[in-house]
Structure 1
Amino acid sequence: MCGITGVFDTRSTSEIDRNLLHRMNETLTHRGPDEGEVYVESGLGLGHRRLSIMDVSSGQQPLFNEDGSVVVVFNGEIYNFQKLVGELTALGHRFRTHCDTEVIVHAWEEWGERCVERFSGMFAFGVWDRNRQTLFMARDRLGIKPFYYTLLDNGLFLFASELKALLVHPDFDKTFDHRAIEDYFAYGYIPEPKTIFKNAFKLNPGHLLSLQRGQQTVQSREYWDIPFTPHGSLSEEEAAEELILRLRNAVDSHLMSEVPLGAFLSGGVDSSAVVAMMGGLMKEPVNTCSIAFSDPAFDESDYARLVAERYQTRHFTEQVQQDDFDLIDRLAALYDEPFADSSAIPTYRVCELARKRVTVALSGDGGDENFAGYRRYRWHMIEERLRSKLPLGLRKPLFGLLGSVYPKADWAPKFLRAKTTFESLARDSVEGYFHSVSILDNKLRMQLFTRDFYRDLQGYRAVEVLRDYADKSPTKDALSLIQYLDMKTYLVGDILTKVDRASMAHSLEVRVPLLDHELVEWVSGLPASMKLRQQEGKYILKRSLEPYLPNEVLYRNKMGFSVPLASWFRGPLRERVRTALLGNTLAGTGIFDMGFIKKMLDQHQSGRRDYSAPIWTLLMFEAFLRNILSMGNMSYTGQDKKVA
């Protein structure tokens, strides 16, 4: 696992500033503390920070081919690299190292852009081919590894593993993208390909970029998508048997390492499944790490212990206090742009714990999206059945009226909290799902933002992110569609981003075998009824795991990896939140209606409403602003001071 950065002059072969490139590269030291190198030639500079995992003695980067005409910087792992080494050697290529990085160089020489189709793994890389005067870049299929880029007005193309490296360049345009702000307050993160900055972008998962000198535009191209191609007739017994075989193979491929390796074990189905497979594959006991919470309502450590005892793992648990909120400013610096998933706090802590024992950890991320494990999937399918009974023309006025008059009863039992359901039923399927996942719904965002800010959006609304993906979805099945939407947005923009930054902050490599692309392809073809059966999510996964895990782990209510925001903001963080949100930082942007923010705080802290999620979203935006302003040369408008 590593950090990469690069500078490419699209207009000329002028000298790249080596010292500036070095400073960009050094911002990524946390991603690769073992070694750091930069390479510069006419019109090109590449930087790399290394966390040594494979071929520790000779896998340094940037790495070249035999004659030095092709060079690569690479972040990630190619799990099938040994097979590719054999294939490429037979084709006449000579290897000088035993690491997966060199495979990329020779695969590019042999297959060009189609080399990415041969790779199985998590990756983001840049290849410079001097003979072709081509810079080729790619990101893995599911977006496990990050890739940011921008094209400056002077023709310099910059790329890096994290935004902070791009921010070092003095010509980087720091103007905020108002559409990204609208997205953030809807989703809690900024979906690909946007970033908080108007002229900087994330390369979409499963996409590649190819640039040649003289090329003035940047256009990515998709090379892979989740197929959702139905299988032929497959009984449940056959599906369960094949699933275990594929799951075991996926985990096995992720075990390659020359450094200590272990796993996260939360006590949930997905991480327990990974540990169960590891237990049957490894000769040594598995190192497992868990976080315990002082509040039993959030604590799953007893379930993790059950799995650890069954597979006789070397199990390590640390307790996180429920007032572990001092990480707020640290998180803002880690993520470089607003990020409002509060589970980033325990994720940071479990990575911190794991790094004391191992350098590589396997996680269960991706199971909920693959196998339909989220509660919201169940509610959406219930709503879909209701939607099918009435056309939108009748539903919209009927349920729209009910939603408008029904009280917002956050304090009431769940079966009495029907307002959100009524509001969702008044919408079509995509907008209904958007409503269910939004942190601040349309009405709240309209109240939060000033009229000037809304006018600047020129009619743009965050739901368009989901609509765009729905339009290109390979499936129209109701359940598969929302799984597809989540894999394109929530999985990459929230879950994988959270884990990447939290793990890299501790120089820990995290691998996600449930997102092995061949496993994802196969699971996507299973019937929806094998994923969500009545009210049981992950139906076929749980059934297949019955011989491997206790029922009290498989068939219990999902808890999630959360923190008690509501009580924080009424108790220990009460004054801190008011000072942050009602101070000059947010007020000075001109984006927010400060009267509405005060109203939200008053209602939440009095106990009348639960605004914990919107308050946390605002708190992380305020922390982001303070972090970015501390770098200097910034105004509240997001523009460089010299042009503000």
Structure 2
Amino acid sequence: MCGIAGIYHLETPKPVDAARVEAMCDAIAHRGPDGQGVWTAPGVGLGHRRLSIIDIAGSPQPMAAEDGRAMLVFNGEIYNYRELRHELKAVGEKFRTDGDSEVILAAWRRWGPDCVTRLFGMFAFAIYDLEARTLFLARDRLGVKPLYYALLSDGSLAFGSELKALVAHPLLRREIDPLAVEDYLTWGYVPDHRAILKGVSKLPAGHSLLLRHGTPMPQPRQWWDVSFADRRKGKPADLEAELVHLMRQAVASRMVADVPLGAFLSGGVDSSSVVAFMAEASANPVRTCSIGFDVAELDESAYASRVAQQFATDHVSSVVSSNDFSAIDKLARMFDEPFADASALPTWRVCQLARQSVTVALSGDGADEAFGGYRRHVFQAGEDKVRALLPQSLRGPVFGAIGRAYPKADWAPRPLRAKSTLLSLAGDSVAGYARSMAFLAPELRDGIYSEDFRRLRGEYRAEDPVLALMNEAPARSGLDRAQYADLKVWLPGDILNKVDRTSMSVSLEVREPLLDHRLIEFAASLPENMRVQRGQGKWLMKKAMRRYLPEDVLYRPKQGFVTPISQWFRGPLAAQAREIAGGAALARTGWFDQRRLLSLVDAHVAGVADNSRLLWQMLMLNKAFASLGVS
């Protein structure tokens, strides 16, 4: 795992200042504390920060191809590099190192831009071809590894693993994109089709970009997609066996490392499944770690300990205080862009704990998106049955009117929080799911915007790209389209973004075996009732894992990391909340209705309403503005 950065002149191949590339790399030094390097040639400069995982002494970067034709900077891991190395050797390729970086260079020489289809793993890399004078940028299928880029005023393109690397370039404009603010307030993160700063882009997951001196900037090319259009046939027992084989293969391939390796263990079905297969493949006890909370209803550590005992792991755990809010400023700086998933804080804590004993940790991320494991997937399947029974002409007026009149009962037990469900049923399947994904519904966002911001936003709504994506998805059903949206928007924008930034901040590599693309493609082909059945998500996966895991681990309610932000804003963070509504950077933009924000703060602090998610969003937005040096 590493950090990469670079500069490429699209028009005239002007000289590149090596010190400028080095400064970009220094801004992301946390991603690679074990080594650094910069290489320049007319019109191009490549930089690298290395976290040594495989072939520790033999694969420094930037790396030249064996024939000197190309230079590479690479962030990630290629899990099938040994198989590819053997295949490439058979057709005459030569290797000087034992790592995966040189395999990418040989694959480029043999297959050109199509080399990405042969690479199994997580990656973001740049290859400069000295003969063709082209720069090739590529990102892995699911977007595990990030890659930002921007066109600058001198005609160059700057790129880097994090926005920090681009901000270190003096020619990057630090102007906030108001449409990104609309996106952020809707989803709680800035999705990959936009960035918080104008002029900055993110290379989408499963895309590549081929640049050539003297030619216009092209659009990224999609080289991989997942399809829900076809249904796999077979007996449940056969599908179970295939699933177990794919999971076992995915876990084993991610256990290759020349440094200490372990796993996160929450005690949920996903991380427990990964640990089960790790224990099966390892001759030594698997190192596992988990965190607990000092609030009993939030604490899952007993389940983690139980699974650790079952598989005789070398387990460590730590307790996170419910008052663990001292690192909020650090958290904002980690992400650069505003990020409102409050579980980032405990995720960072478990990364810190893991880094004390390992350099690589396997996680259980990805199974919910692939196998329909979220509550909203179960609701989507159920709501679509209602939609099939009642025409839109009836649902729209009836459910819409009831939903708008129904109180927003955040304080009530879950079964009584019907407002979102009613409003979702009033729309079609796609619109209903987009509403269920949102942090803030359109009417709530409009309530805090100023007239100036509404004018800047124009006709754009954050739901628009997601609705288009779902409507055009290779899918058959509403559940298919929902999971497609999660894999394309939520997964890279929230989950993988969170894990990458928190782990890289402590120089820890995290690998996600349940995001093996072969496993994702298998899951997308399953009949709906193999994903969601009788109100239960991840149906086939849980059934397949019954031979490995106890029933109460498999079928207990999903919890995840929970952060008590509601209590914080009624206590130690109340003053910060009032500052957001009054004299903070957000107020100076003129984009928000200060009076409305202050009333929401007062209502929350008084316990009249729970506005904690909105207040957390606004707090993190304000801190992101400060960390980027904009106002």
1:222 aligns with 2:222: yes
* Paired residue secondary structure (1:3): strand
1:450 aligns with 2:453: no
Once the two structures are superposed, what CA deviation does each residue of 1:135-178 show, in whole Å capped at 9, x if it has no partner?
A: 01100000000010111132101110000000111111222221
Report the residue type matching 2:117 in the other structure. Answer: E
Matches of residues 336-351 of structure 1 in structure 2 within 5 Å? 336-351=336-351
Matches of residues 494-573 of structure 1 in structure 2 within 5 Å? 494-573=494-573
* Paired residue secondary structure (2:274): helix
1:410 aligns with 2:415: no
In the alignment, which residue of structure 1 is the partner of 2:589? 589
Cα shift at 1:544:
0.5
Kept in 1, the 8 Å contact 2:232–2:527? The answer is: no
Kept in 1, the 8 Å contact 2:10–2:216? The answer is: yes
Kept in 2, the 8 Å contact 1:290–1:350? The answer is: yes
* Paired residue secondary structure (1:510): strand
Report the residue type matching 1:421 in the other structure. Answer: T
Cα shift at 1:410:
2.3
Once the two structures are superposed, what CA deviation does each residue of 1:463-505 show, in whole Å capped at 9, x if it has no partner?
A: 1121121133110312111011001111110000000000000
Kept in 2, the 8 Å contact 1:155–1:216? The answer is: no
Once the two structures are superposed, what CA deviation does each residue of 1:25-71 show, in whole Å capped at 9, x if it has no partner?
A: 11111000000100011111000000000000111000011232200
Within 2, Cα distance between the matches of 1:376 and 1:528?
14
1:292 aligns with 2:278: no
In the alignment, which residue of structure 1 is the partner of 2:401? 401
Out of 392-401 and 513-522, give the one that drifted further: 392-401
Within 1, Cα distance between the matches of 2:350 and 2:400?
43
Kept in 1, the 8 Å contact 2:289–2:316? The answer is: yes
In the alignment, which residue of structure 1 is the partner of 2:212? 212
Report the CA distance shift for 1:232/1:328 in structure 2 as closer, same or farther (over 3 A).
Answer: closer
Kept in 1, the 8 Å contact 2:28–2:162? The answer is: yes
Cα shift at 1:412:
2.6
Report the residue type matching 1:105 in the other structure. Answer: L
In the alignment, which residue of structure 2 is the partner of 1:318? 318
Report the residue type matching 2:236 in the other structure. Answer: E
Matches of residues 265-276 of structure 1 in structure 2 within 5 Å? 265-276=265-276
In the alignment, which residue of structure 1 is the partner of 2:19? 19
Report the residue type matching 1:476 in the other structure. Answer: R
In the alignment, which residue of structure 1 is the partner of 2:46? 46
1:436 aligns with 2:436: yes
* Paired residue secondary structure (2:71): strand
Report the residue type matching 1:276 in the other structure. Answer: A
Once the two structures are superposed, what CA deviation does each residue of 1:332-376 show, in whole Å capped at 9, x if it has no partner?
A: 111011110000000000000000010000000001101111111
Q: How many correspondences in the alignment? A: 631
Out of 41-50 and 425-434, give the one that drifted further: 425-434
Once the two structures are superposed, what CA deviation does each residue of 1:183-211 show, in whole Å capped at 9, x if it has no partner?
A: 10000001112110121011100000000
In the alignment, which residue of structure 1 is the partner of 2:84? 84
In the alignment, which residue of structure 1 is the partner of 2:69? 69
Report the residue type matching 2:150 in the other structure. Answer: T
Kept in 2, the 8 Å contact 1:400–1:422? The answer is: yes
> How large is the RMSD of aligned CA atoms in angstroms?
1.1
In the alignment, which residue of structure 1 is the partner of 2:146? 146
Cα shift at 1:560:
1.5
* Paired residue secondary structure (1:536): coil
* Paired residue secondary structure (2:249): helix
Within 1, Cα distance between the matches of 2:220 and 2:621?
29
Kept in 1, the 8 Å contact 2:177–2:195? The answer is: yes
**Unpaired segments of 5 or more residues in structure 2?**
none
In the alignment, which residue of structure 2 is the partner of 1:470? 470
Within 1, Cα distance between the matches of 2:411 and 2:66?
68
Report the CA distance shift for 1:35/1:158 in structure 2 as closer, same or farther (over 3 A).
Answer: same
Out of 323-332 and 494-503, give the one that drifted further: 323-332
In the alignment, which residue of structure 1 is the partner of 2:188? 188
Out of 165-174 and 277-286, give the one that drifted further: 165-174
In the alignment, which residue of structure 1 is the partner of 2:109? 109
Cα shift at 1:599:
1.1
Cα shift at 1:390:
2.2
Once the two structures are superposed, what CA deviation does each residue of 1:266-310 show, in whole Å capped at 9, x if it has no partner?
A: 011000000000010011100000001000111100000111000
* Paired residue secondary structure (2:94): coil
* Paired residue secondary structure (1:533): coil
In the alignment, which residue of structure 2 is the partner of 1:421? 421
Out of 214-223 and 226-235, give the one that drifted further: 226-235
Cα shift at 1:408:
2.0
In the alignment, which residue of structure 1 is the partner of 2:238? 238
* Paired residue secondary structure (1:77): strand
Within 2, Cα distance between the matches of 1:30 and 1:149?
19
In the superposition, the TM-score normalised over structure 2's length comes to 0.98
Kept in 1, the 8 Å contact 2:434–2:467? The answer is: no
Within 2, Cα distance between the matches of 1:568 and 1:490?
26
In the alignment, which residue of structure 1 is the partner of 2:305? 305
Cα shift at 1:232:
4.2
Within 2, Cα distance between the matches of 1:371 and 1:627?
37
Within 2, Cα distance between the matches of 1:336 and 1:240?
42
Cα shift at 1:576:
2.8
In the alignment, which residue of structure 2 is the partner of 1:134? 134
1:367 aligns with 2:384: no
1:625 aligns with 2:628: no
In the superposition, the TM-score normalised over structure 1's length comes to 0.96
Within 1, Cα distance between the matches of 2:437 and 2:534?
21
Once the two structures are superposed, what CA deviation does each residue of 1:437-480 show, in whole Å capped at 9, x if it has no partner?
A: 21111111001111111111120001112112113311031211
Within 1, Cα distance between the matches of 2:84 and 2:416?
58
Report the residue type matching 2:390 in the other structure. Answer: L
Cα shift at 1:399:
1.6
Kept in 2, the 8 Å contact 1:270–1:367? The answer is: yes
Cα shift at 1:258:
0.3
Within 2, Cα distance between the matches of 1:464 and 1:231?
28
Kept in 2, the 8 Å contact 1:581–1:622? The answer is: no
Kept in 1, the 8 Å contact 2:264–2:271? The answer is: yes
Cα shift at 1:112:
0.6
Cα shift at 1:582:
2.5
Within 1, Cα distance between the matches of 2:410 and 2:478?
28
Kept in 2, the 8 Å contact 1:581–1:619? The answer is: no
Cα shift at 1:231:
4.5
Within 2, Cα distance between the matches of 1:436 and 1:378?
12
* Paired residue secondary structure (2:547): coil
Cα shift at 1:229:
4.7
* Paired residue secondary structure (1:267): coil
Within 1, Cα distance between the matches of 2:624 and 2:599?
22
Once the two structures are superposed, what CA deviation does each residue of 1:361-406 show, in whole Å capped at 9, x if it has no partner?
A: 0000001101111111112222212222222232222222112222
